[in-house]
Amino acid sequence: MSVIEVRSLNKLYRARVKEEGLGASFRALIKPVYKEVHAVKNISFTVDKGEILAFIGPNGAGKSTTIKMLTGILHPTSGEISVLGFDPVKQRKQLSYHIGTVFGQKSQLWFHLPPVDSFALLGAIYDIDKKTLKKREEELIECFELGDLIKTPVRKLSLGQRIRCEVAASLLHSPDILFLDEPTIGLDVVVKQKIRELILRMNRDQGTTIFLTSHDTGDVEQLCRRAIVIDHGEIILDQPVKKLKYDYLNRKIIAVRFNLEQHLDVPKGVVVEKSGKMGARLSVDTRVCSIDEAMRWIISQGGVADITVEDPPMEEIISTIFTGKNTAE
């Protein structure tokens, strides 16, 4: 059963353009010039109940604009949206009782107060009676391992602790759909992993549908079963993450630093992207050479001082998808 249905959705902005310099500023004052920015171009998709969908793309691709139209913040220029049977433009308030949102860059917690005070205010905003709120708070404190954090002023929490509290706050009213916009932005690897585990647990235990936008390929790989890739406002790919992984997320970047000068004779599936006397940046095709094999080979060279494994950046993946698409065409 679909909980989100989007048909032929478009969003156009009118942006002011100005040439460089003071003279141009005066000219723009008298005769402003505008250009139309097509932020979202005719996109259509559906999301099923209980699904974890990744909505990914580079900066400025149209991810946030889409999420803002789905939640009723922005009005579409044209097209149709139905979220849990509500029209976000006409029924924004009714819809808000059924959805939760976490915007990585925007906090709904009071900075100087402990989260428990913000929870009480949010409980009242969402018309949750005191008994239900108390019970829900206890569930979330346990699920998100908030413990003493709940009584610590937000300004004293680390970013990871704050995001855990943010996600918990967005779930107070037991929403059916949770929109997560870059929830792991700025977090370190360990905290990212923790947040991902909590999101998965919530989806599994409560059947919450998750709509996730992220820049982080790790979020997509570990959380989602399906991914929609958007770029320049258009959907360029909509497929299971398993296939996306095989086709596009099949490369890892290994940065290695040695204590001694090394001459690298790389195995099949490994390409040297950059090398110096004491280190190298290697690209590993995991379909040909597993990370396990690649690491063993590196260690066998001896004198390893430092090693890091990273996913390729999202921009590169999008570019690969485009190249593949264009070649196929």
Least separation in angstroms between CB 106 and another protein: 4
The single residue among 6, 109, 256, 318 that binds another protein, judged by CB under 8 A, is 109
Please identify which residue in the block is written with the tokens 């059924």.
Answer: 98
End-to-end CA distance of the chain: 33
Q: Which residue do the tokens 């490369």 mark?
A: 251
Per the structure block, which two tokens stand in for 298?
């590196």
What b/e readout covers 288-304, taking b as 16+ CB neighbours within 10 angstroms? Answer: ebeeebbbebbeeeeeb
Closest CA to 194 of 227, 168, 229, 226: 168
Q: Which stretch binds another protein (CB under 8 A): 112-120, 195-203, 215-223, 226-234?
A: 112-120
Q: Binder to another protein among 24, 33, 125, 271 (CB under 8 A)?
A: 125
Using the minimum distance from each CB to another protein, give the nearer residue, 153 or 312: 153
Rule CB under 8 A: say whether 101 interacts with another protein.
Answer: yes
Note whether 153 binds another protein by CB under 8 A: yes
The reply on whether position 329 binds another protein by CB under 8 A is: no
Angle at 216 between CA 37 and CA 189, to 5 degrees: 145
On whether the CB atoms of residues 201 and 167 are closer than 8 A, the answer is no
Amino acid, single-letter form, for residue 71: T
Tokens found for residue 97: 């009782």
Among 4, 61, 74, 187, binds another protein (CB under 8 A): 74
Rounded-to-integer distance, Cα 41 and Cα 27, Å = 32
Q: Indicate the residue among 110 and 297 with the shorter CB distance to another protein.
A: 110
Asked if 255 touches another protein (CB under 8 A), the answer is no
Measured distance CA(49)–CA(15) in Å, rounded: 37
CA distance 322 to 313: 15
Distance CA 43, CA 50 (A): 22
Size of the site for another protein (CB under 8 A): 34
- Answer yes or no whether residue 79 interacts with another protein by CB under 8 A: no
Q: Considering the complex, what minimum distance in angstroms separates the CB of residue 121 from another protein?
A: 5
3-state secondary structure at position 223: helix
Q: Does 107 bind another protein (CB under 8 A)?
A: yes
Q: Is 96 in the site for another protein (CB under 8 A)?
A: yes
Does residue 118 belong to the site contacting another protein (CB under 8 A)?
yes
Asked if 87 touches another protein (CB under 8 A), the answer is: no
Q: How far is the CB of 47 from another protein (least distance, A)?
A: 18
Q: Is 157 in the site for another protein (CB under 8 A)?
A: no
Question: Which of the residues 1 through 30 are near another protein (CB under 8 A)?
Answer: 13
Could you list the residues that contact another protein (CB under 8 A)?
13, 64, 68, 71-75, 92-94, 96-97, 99, 101, 103, 105-113, 117-118, 120-121, 124-127, 153
